Amino acid sequence: MVLGELGKKLSTALSKMNSSQVLDNKVFNEMIGEIVTALLQADVNVQLVKKVRDDIKKKVNLEKIPSGVNRRKLIHQVVFDELVALVNPRKKAPKIPEQKSKTGEIKYKPYVIMFVGLQGSGKTTTCAKLAHHYKNKKKKVCLVCADTFRAGAYEQLKQNALKAGVPFYGSYTEQNPVKAAREGVKHFKKQKMEVIIVDTSGRHKQEEGLFEEMQEISEAINPKNVIFVMDGTIGQSAFDQAKAFQERVTVGSVILTKLDAKGTKGGGAISAVAATGSPIIFYGTGEHLYDLEPFNAKSFISRLLGHGDFGGLFNKIKDAGFEDQAEFYQKMMEKEEVTLRDMYEQWSMIIKMGPIDKVMEMLPGFSKDLLPTGKGEEAQLRIKRFMCMMNSMTNKELDHPRVFHHEPSRFTRIAKGSGHSVKEVKEMFEEYKRFAKVLKSMIKRMKKGGGKGFNMNQLMGGGRRTRGMNMGNLNMGGLNIGQMMKNFNMSPDQMNQLMGKK
């Protein structure tokens, strides 16, 4: 779990407030105090933390909240919004243009990206991760090595390109980085490559020398986007580097690496970069090709607080080519009960989508204990073990889990049949109950509010429009659908597709 320590402290502060008998100023201020401490411990700049604290206090005056308003939910939403504002650079990153024009004709528009970063920031690794990301999005992407300084750079990038399965261009002999970059870009433009990623040398320890060299290469290849790779473990001192970068580069964005590192001060780095207004587009969460997550402030905070991230999950489902699985979610919304078979289906889809820990952080309600921190493989094994037990179940058990309450001897049969202990089978059943509880409450809210499968387009139509959304009668137990979409960072289209509505 990225920034797991910070996330745990923040969600604990909120759940303590939620479960307090009385919600008075004492409880409220205690909650704020815990949030302030957690942010400072994550190395968030003290001025930024003060602003979060003051903004929350400004927006929540317990005496003035009208009766009938759910005060806990209101406070939860205010804290969520302030944490999002803390990490949101409020500036859009450059987008890769579609190769097709509006009339549908193919117009070749090469998109050159130049990577810059101080020594050891993770630039070369991240170049390959980004190439892997765009390859999965069916883009024609390639890598150019313009790091003529470090001997091993050519070999390292070439190996990474092989792993990512993308074309590579570099030269063992060329000493001039500007020439190497220019040759590489020219070579791939001839091959009509859509995304050309150029890795430059990270020899500099200070950003001044780095930006000098960057200027020369930039004039030679005219990149559409200059990506500054920063090591997330440097915490709030990322502010100065990001500020210097922003002053030198007009069209730039940032990737923060190593947010998975133990004791990382990632919270400090993210908020520091956001404070400069430089758009963070991705963040690194490990050394593997797939350890790169698109950065979106709401999704990031939503996951940090354990709310899941349907928007990100939906994109993963789409990228993994599982659009038809959206029917799965449609079915879940319309069922009376969540069964073991539902959980089995969900798990088999997730396992196909890639490392468990990356995907399950996006699902609301999945317990973190199922995800031993940073041990995706272990969690993957654990889930496969649970699925193996379910393979020993009868249809009746899979579709009517209540049978286990009346006939507990079934646990023994399944244990024997699957080669596990009764204790392990019961542990799996406990996990199923947790999973069912969270999804059931969500399904209940959906049904109470919008009735059977409402159509998002209707929601967007007529009636009182607030921020382009009809917030009218779609109330699901105090959380209206527009708010839910906001929290899960889903677009109306995504919600529609998820609900199987055209």
Ligand X SMILES: Nc1nc2c(ncn2[C@@H]2O[C@H](COP(=O)(O)OP(=O)(O)OP(=O)(O)O)[C@@H](O)[C@H]2O)c(=O)[nH]1
**Please, which residue, 292 or 479, has the CB nearer to ligand X?**
292
Cα 448 from Cα 231, distance rounded (Å):
46
- Report the nearest approach of ligand X to the CB of residue 202 (Å): 2
Cα 178 from Cα 216, distance rounded (Å):
7
- Report the nearest approach of ligand X to the CB of residue 117 (Å): 5
- Report the nearest approach of ligand X to the CB of residue 234 (Å): 13
- Report the nearest approach of ligand X to the CB of residue 359 (Å): 17
The 10 Å CB-count burial string (b at 16+, else e) for 53-89 is bebbeeebeeeeeeeeeeeeeebbbbbbbbbbbbbbb
Say how many C-beta atoms besides its own lie within 10 A of residue 325's C-beta: 20
Span near ligand X by CB under 6 A; candidates 9-17, 118-126, 337-345, 408-416 = 118-126
- Report the nearest approach of ligand X to the CB of residue 120 (Å): 5
Q: Which residue has the tokens 């990153």?
A: 93
* Angle CA 36–5–301, to nearest 5: 70
Q: By CB under 6 A, is residue 125 in contact with ligand X? A: yes
**Please, which residue, 141 or 340, has the CB nearer to ligand X?**
141
User: 256 to each of 107, 134, 158, 261, 460, how far by Cα in Å?
Assistant: 33, 18, 23, 12, 36
- Report the nearest approach of ligand X to the CB of residue 10 (Å): 22
User: 56 to each of 16, 231, 247, how far by Cα in Å?
Assistant: 17, 30, 31
**Please, which residue, 28 or 282, has the CB nearer to ligand X?**
282
- Report the nearest approach of ligand X to the CB of residue 151 (Å): 11
- Report the nearest approach of ligand X to the CB of residue 352 (Å): 24
Q: By CB under 6 A, is residue 119 in contact with ligand X? A: yes
Span near ligand X by CB under 6 A; candidates 121-129, 132-140, 321-329, 410-418 = 121-129
**Structure-block tokens of residue 12:** 């604990």
- Report the nearest approach of ligand X to the CB of residue 273 (Å): 15
Q: What is the DSSP pairing of strand 168-169 with strand 252-257? A: unpaired
**Structure-block tokens of residue 140:** 């024609």
**Please, which residue, 202 or 401, has the CB nearer to ligand X?**
202
Span near ligand X by CB under 6 A; candidates 17-25, 112-120, 205-213, 267-275 = 112-120
Please, which of residues 426-445 interact with ligand X by CB under 6 A? none
DSSP string computed for 283-347: EE-SSSTT-EEE--HHHHHHHHTT---HHHHHHHHHHTT-GGGHHHHHHHHH-S---HHHHHHHH
Beta bridge partners of 254: 228, 280
- Report the nearest approach of ligand X to the CB of residue 128 (Å): 8
**Please, which residue, 284 or 364, has the CB nearer to ligand X?**
284
- Report the nearest approach of ligand X to the CB of residue 304 (Å): 17
Q: Please give the residue whose beta carbon sits closest to ligand X in the complex.
A: 202
**Please, which residue, 27 or 261, has the CB nearer to ligand X?**
261
Name the helix (H) or strand (E) containing 282.
strand 280-284
Span near ligand X by CB under 6 A; candidates 252-260, 316-324, 326-334, 489-497 = 252-260
Contact present, 242 and 278 (Cβ < 8 Å) = yes
**Residue from 33, 120, 321, 408 binding ligand X (CB under 6 A):** 120
Q: Exposed, middle or buried by CB within 10 Å (0-12, 13-18, 19+), for 220? A: buried
Please, which of residues 254-313 interact with ligand X by CB under 6 A? 257-258, 260-261, 284-287, 291
User: 381 to each of 315, 375, 386, how far by Cα in Å?
Assistant: 24, 10, 9
Q: By CB under 6 A, is residue 252 in contact with ligand X? A: no
Cα 362 from Cα 428, distance rounded (Å):
21
Name the helix (H) or strand (E) containing 280.
strand 280-284
* Per-residue binder mask for ligand X (CB under 6 A), 131-170, x = binder: -------------------x--x-----------------
- Report the nearest approach of ligand X to the CB of residue 183 (Å): 20
Q: By CB under 6 A, is residue 124 in contact with ligand X? A: yes
Q: By CB under 6 A, is residue 122 in contact with ligand X? A: yes
Q: By CB under 6 A, is residue 123 in contact with ligand X? A: yes
Cα 195 from Cα 112, distance rounded (Å):
6
Say how many C-beta atoms besides its own lie within 10 A of residue 396's C-beta: 10
Q: By CB under 6 A, is residue 117 in contact with ligand X? A: yes
* Per-residue binder mask for ligand X (CB under 6 A), 190-229, x = binder: ------------x---------------------------
**Please, which residue, 126 or 325, has the CB nearer to ligand X?**
126
Binding site for ligand X (CB under 6 A): 117, 119-126, 150, 153, 202, 257-258, 260-261, 284-287, 291
